[in-house]
Amino acid sequence: MLKTFQKVGQQLLALGLITSHGGNASIRKGDKIFITRHASMLGCLGRGDVIKLDLKDTGPATKKASFELPVHREIYLHSGAGAVLHAHPPHAIALSLVEKDIRPRDAEGAILLKEVPIIETTEVVGSKDVGITVARLLKEYRVVMIKGHGSFAVGSASGGLEEALCYTSALEDSAKIIFLLRGLGAGGRK
């Protein structure tokens, strides 16, 4: 399983979807969550960087996990997700600051994502309340943006982190295309 985390983490960094210490990832196996450690570098994960927790665990072991563990937990408790990927795709983040949602104009984005909702929150991004909102939206959408912060994408039990990476990458590519269209004067809404 570590190899999957490493592969996806390296791809996130190579694609510019995270910074050196940004983002987090998790996989659900039954009533267990395997989640990246707080402040780990997804681009070069080692053995101690993925932590195994009980799905409903709130004990001391959770202190080592990503600060966004409560969001991952709520997604697993309220959706059929098998994996969760949180990234900071820069073009999508920029759009999240000026739009209410992201509607891909390219064929791949339109097919894969259809629409990406953007939520605005005054809560801490890693809070249970944010997790509940994100989980509710991920029942209908494959990716959700938190305004000015980043994306949460889900993968199925069979597609896993690679599927969530596919949706995250498609989101960023769609955001880039929207920027290019706007540069050409054909960007549509703003």
Give the pair of three-digit tokens for residue 133: 């909102």
What predicted TM-score, i.e. pTM, was given to this entire model? 0.94
Contact of 63 with 41, CB cutoff 8 Å: no
Interhelix angle 69-78/128-137, nearest 10 degrees: 40
CATH architecture observed for domain 2-183: 3-Layer(aba) Sandwich (3.40)
How far apart are alpha carbons 22 and 3 in whole angstroms?
A: 19
Q: From first to last of its 190 residues, what are the pLDDT tens digits of the chain?
A: 899 999 999 999 999 999 999 999 999 999 999 999 999 999 999 999 999 999 987 777 788 999 999 999 999 999 889 999 999 999 999 999 999 999 999 999 999 999 999 999 998 888 999 999 999 999 999 999 999 999 999 999 999 999 999 999 999 999 999 999 999 988 655 4
Residue 118: count other Cβ atoms within 10 Å of its Cβ. Answer: 21
How far apart are alpha carbons 82 and 51 in whole angstroms?
A: 16
| Residue ranges of domains in the chain | 2-183
Per-residue pLDDT, 56: 85
How far apart are alpha carbons 8 and 129 in whole angstroms?
A: 27
Per-residue pLDDT, 99: 96
Per-residue pLDDT, 188: 56
How far apart are alpha carbons 27 and 101 in whole angstroms?
A: 27
How far apart are alpha carbons 182 and 190 in whole angstroms?
A: 9
Torsion angle (degrees, nearest 10) of CA 154, 38, 14, 160: -30
List, edge to edge, every strand of the sheet that includes 32-36. 50-54, 32-36, 24-29, 83-87, 150-155, 143-146, 116-119, 101-102
Per-residue pLDDT, 60: 79
Per-residue pLDDT, 189: 56
